Amino acid sequence: MRKILEKIGEQFSHLLAEAGRLSILFGQAVVGIFSPPFRLEESLLQMEEVGVHSLSVTLITGAFTGMVLALQTYIGFKRFNAESLVGTVVALSMTRELGPVLTGLVVAARAGSSIAAELGTMRVTEQIDALTTMAVNPIEYLVSPRLLAGLVMLPLLTALANITGITGGYLVSVYILGANSLVYVRRTFDYLTYQDIYSGIFKAAVFGVIITVVGCYKGFYAEGGAHGVGRATTGAVVMSYMLIIISNYIMTALFF
Amino acid sequence: MIQLIDIHKSFRNKQVLKGVNLEIKRGESMVVIGGSGCGKSVLMKHIMGLIWPDQGRVLIEGRDIASCSRWELKEIRKKFGMLFQGAALFDSMTVGQNVGFGLKEHTSLSKEEIRKRVQEKLQMVGLPGIEDLRPDELSGGMKKRVGLARAIAMEPEILLYDEPTTGLDPIMADVINELIIRMKEVYKVTSLTITHDMKSAYKIADRIGMLYDGRIIEVGTPEEIQNTQNPIVRQFITGSAKGPITEGACL
């Protein structure tokens, strides 16, 4: 019994230490964004890496999510003659939940893992030490631009995923399920408020911060060669997924 | 110029440094020798503030680096150049960008001036015209030389070499030795080299110190070290399989 309690205590203390280190890294990266030299070139490169390179997978995910949502909702709603509300459900689901969450998960898998692997490799090959010896703060140079990229690109990707999702839902409803195009479009926008869109975009910005900071954190503190880099990469994706899912519920419950 | 005073450092209950004392004078080439995994790299990283001691002080020109502000530490680091064991070239950049990185970060030189300085440093290490190659296109020896060009690009006062000849063929190792000597003679840099390559140590050192069991157990000129009566140093420099080191002698 004592051993079990010791193990639980050890895990809890490890978790607290990790949360502390993650928070400190986040704080230092935020300070780095506002401290000269402002790394515009690096930030733009990271925006390309996090945003542009995740574009196709995000758009495809958004489109097919909207399409399957339309299909499933139609089947369910037909049972009580509410097919005309399919557009509303697709639009609300995409903007409030599925757009930001699925985009977050897709980018965590694509860009978050890539950030952790890149920084992890830099750590184990002493490139991060080399930055420090050259009097360049590695957090300001490596983490701050990635954090900024996540903060800017996730909302943009989410907005695009929302558009493709709603469009996908429209195409399936109108051209496969035979819904009236005009009614579908009107129902889509009748119940959609700015609050729905903003809440999703806000969530996406939070997910952008989570993905990039967790990816950087896992890579930055990787140790133990190739095995350590692998562990950092997996750890970054798992931790990002968990934090995205949990923070999504908290944000929805508290604010939206 | 550099003083290490009673440095202690442990990692996960393993004590690596147990009270290291070492002084490196201005313009001197100090070499620290010691077996693999004895803490030589850890010792060197203390000088740059990459690792902080559990106990003891690191003084650079009389200034304790632990008491320096972030800005002061940055200014101190600008005086240093470091050649890493694996060169630690930034693999997202070209050779030219690697060598010019410090200049881009810390000087107001124009792109053209940086380009010229990069060419000059690459010429100096015997690798002209490779600015546009990427690190993964270079051999081990070329990487080390590019790492050296990057380390000297800012014309530092102090150079740290972490196992500069490890993994190189004898000819390339001697090329690196010659470059290290040239840095000292032409640019009057103070240097600390850590190595277990005795041929290199004898060639480049003004003084050699041996790190063993977490302490510097002997310091002397290459001649003094070659004629030492200390059985531990003797076994190490002769590379003998039998002796106090392999019998696990502790101090």
Q: Do B77 and A134 touch (CB under 8 A)?
A: yes
Task: Quote the minimal CA–CA distance from A61 to chain B in Å.
Answer: 30
Tell me the per-residue pLDDT of A228-247, one tens digit each, with 9 for 90 and over.
999 999 999 999 999 999 99
How does DSSP classify residue A79?
Answer: T
Q: Which pLDDT belongs to residue A81?
A: 85
CB atoms within 10 A of CB B193: 27
Nearest chain A residue to B102 by CA distance is: A134
The mean pLDDT of A94-122, rounded to a whole number, is 96
Q: Which of B226, B148, B219 is nearest to B187 (CA)?
A: B148
Cβ-Cβ contacts under 8 Å, A129 against chain B: 45, 48, 50, 84, 88
Tell me the per-residue pLDDT of A202-211, one tens digit each, with 9 for 90 and over.
999 999 999 9
Q: What is the pTM of this model?
A: 0.88
Tell me the per-residue pLDDT of B212-226, one tens digit each, with 9 for 90 and over.
989 999 999 999 999
Q: Cα(A112)–Cα(A53) distance, rounded to whole angstroms?
A: 12
Measured over the CA atoms of residue A55, residue A57, residue A58 and residue A59, the dihedral's sign is positive
Q: Which pLDDT belongs to residue B250?
A: 54
The mean pLDDT of B17-23, rounded to a whole number, is 93
Selected residue of B69, B70, B72, B92 to mutate for chain A interface (largest A Cβ count, 10 A):
B92
Q: Cα(B219)–Cα(A79) distance, rounded to whole angstroms?
A: 90
Q: Which pLDDT belongs to residue B107?
A: 92
Give the one of A118, A130, A136 whose C-beta lies nearest to B84's C-beta: A130
Q: Which pLDDT belongs to residue B140?
A: 86
Selected residue of B41, B72, B84 to mutate for chain A interface (largest A Cβ count, 10 A):
B84
Selected residue of B44, B80, B90 to mutate for chain A interface (largest A Cβ count, 10 A):
B90
Residue A133 CA, distance from chain mean position: 33
Establish if A129 touches chain B: CB-CB under 8 angstroms. yes
What separation in angstroms does the CA of A216 have from each of A155, A219, A233? Answer: 20, 5, 10
Output the six-digit token pair for B251: 């101090």
Q: Cα(B68)–Cα(A231) distance, rounded to whole angstroms?
A: 35
Say which residue the tokens 């965590």 belong to: A108
Q: Which of A42, A16, A14 is nearest to A29 (CA)?
A: A42
Does residue A254 carry a pLDDT above 90? no
Does residue B166 carry a pLDDT above 70? yes
Cβ-Cβ contacts under 8 Å, A127 against chain B: 88-91
User: Which residues of A, range 219-238, sit inside 8 Å of B by Cβ?
Assistant: none
Q: Do B101 and A126 touch (CB under 8 A)?
A: no
Give the one of A37, A126, A137 whose C-beta lies nearest to B88's C-beta: A126
Measured over the CA atoms of residue B40, residue B43, residue B49 and residue B53, the dihedral's sign is positive
Q: What residues does each domain of chain A span?
A: 44-254
H or E element in which residue A168 lies: helix A144-171
Contact criterion met (CB below 8 Å) for A247 and A210: yes
Selected residue of A123, A127, A133, A142 to mutate for chain B interface (largest B Cβ count, 10 A):
A133
Task: Quote the minimal CA–CA distance from A6 to chain B in Å.
Answer: 19
Does residue B249 carry a pLDDT above 90? no
User: Which residues of B, range 73-102, sit inside 8 Å of A by Cβ?
Assistant: 74-75, 77-78, 80-82, 84-86, 88-92, 101-102
Contact criterion met (CB below 8 Å) for B42 and B14: no
Cβ-Cβ contacts under 8 Å, A137 against chain B: 74
Q: Please, is A7 exposed, middle or buried when counting C-beta atoms within 10 Å of its C-beta (0-12, 13-18, 19+)?
A: exposed
Q: Which pLDDT belongs to residue A159?
A: 97
Output the six-digit token pair for B69: 């502000």
DSSP string, chain B: -EEEEEEEEEETTEEEEEEEEEEE-TT-EEEEE--TTSSHHHHHHHHTTSS--SEEEEEETTEEGGG--HHHHHHHHTTEEEE-TT----TTS-HHHHHHHHHHHH----HHHHHHHHHHHHHHTT-TT-TT--GGGS-HHHHHHHHHHHHHTT--SEEEEESTTTT--HHHHHHHHHHHHHHHHHH--EEEEEES-HHHHHHH-SEEEEEETTEEEEEE-HHHHHT---HHHHHHHHT-SSSTTTTT---
Output the six-digit token pair for B175: 């090329």
If pLDDT is split at 50, 70 and 90, which confidence band does B103 have? very high
Tell me the per-residue pLDDT of A141-165, one tens digit each, with 9 for 90 and over.
999 999 999 999 999 999 999 999 9
Q: What is the mean pLDDT of chain A?
A: 94
- A96-134 core/surface letters (b: 16 or more CB in 10 A; e: else): bbbbbbbbbbbbbbbbbbbbbbbbbbbbbbbbbbbbbbb
Q: For domain B1-79+191-251, give its CATH number from 3.30.379.10, 3.90.1010.10, 3.40.50.300, 3.40.50.970.
A: 3.40.50.300
Give me the numbers of helices (H) and strands (E) for chain A, helices first please.
Answer: 12, 0
Most confident listed range (A241-245, B68-72, B165-169): A241-245
Task: Quote the minimal CA–CA distance from B144 to chain A in Å.
Answer: 13
Q: Which of B18, B22, B24 is nearest to B5 (CA)?
A: B22
Cβ-Cβ contacts under 8 Å, B78 against chain A: 135
Q: Please, is A234 exposed, middle or buried when counting C-beta atoms within 10 Å of its C-beta (0-12, 13-18, 19+)?
A: middle
Q: Do A132 and B80 touch (CB under 8 A)?
A: no
Nearest chain B residue to A129 by CA distance is: B50
Contact criterion met (CB below 8 Å) for B202 and B47: no
Q: Do A127 and B85 touch (CB under 8 A)?
A: no
Q: Cα(B107)–Cα(A223) distance, rounded to whole angstroms?
A: 33
If pLDDT is split at 50, 70 and 90, which confidence band does B82 have? very high
Nearest chain A residue to B71 by CA distance is: A135
Q: Which residue has the higher pLDDT, A199 or B239?
A: A199
Contact criterion met (CB below 8 Å) for B57 and B64: yes
Q: Are strands B158-162 and B80-83 parallel, antiparallel or unpaired?
A: parallel
Q: Cα(A9)–Cα(A221) distance, rounded to whole angstroms?
A: 23
Say which residue the tokens 């909207």 belong to: A66
Q: Which pLDDT belongs to residue B251?
A: 52
Tell me the per-residue pLDDT of A165-200, one tens digit each, with 9 for 90 and over.
999 999 999 999 998 999 999 989 988 999 999 999
Q: Do B45 and A129 touch (CB under 8 A)?
A: yes
Tell me the per-residue pLDDT of A56-82, one tens digit each, with 9 for 90 and over.
999 999 999 999 999 999 989 988 888
Output the six-digit token pair for B76: 């101190």
Tell me the per-residue pLDDT of B151-162, one tens digit each, with 9 for 90 and over.
999 999 999 999
Q: What residues does each domain of chain B span?
A: 1-79+191-251
Output the six-digit token pair for A72: 């499933």
The mean pLDDT of B34-46, rounded to a whole number, is 89
Cβ-Cβ contacts under 8 Å, A118 against chain B: 92
Q: Which pLDDT belongs to residue B1?
A: 84
Q: Which pLDDT belongs to residue A1?
A: 82
If pLDDT is split at 50, 70 and 90, which confidence band does B70 have? confident
| ipTM of this predicted structure | 0.88
The share of chain A scoring above pLDDT 90, in percent, equals 84
Q: Which pLDDT belongs to residue A41?
A: 92
Torsion (CA) B125, B130, B134, B137 in degrees, nearest 10: -80
Q: What is the mean pLDDT of chain B?
A: 91
The share of chain B scoring above pLDDT 70, in percent, equals 98
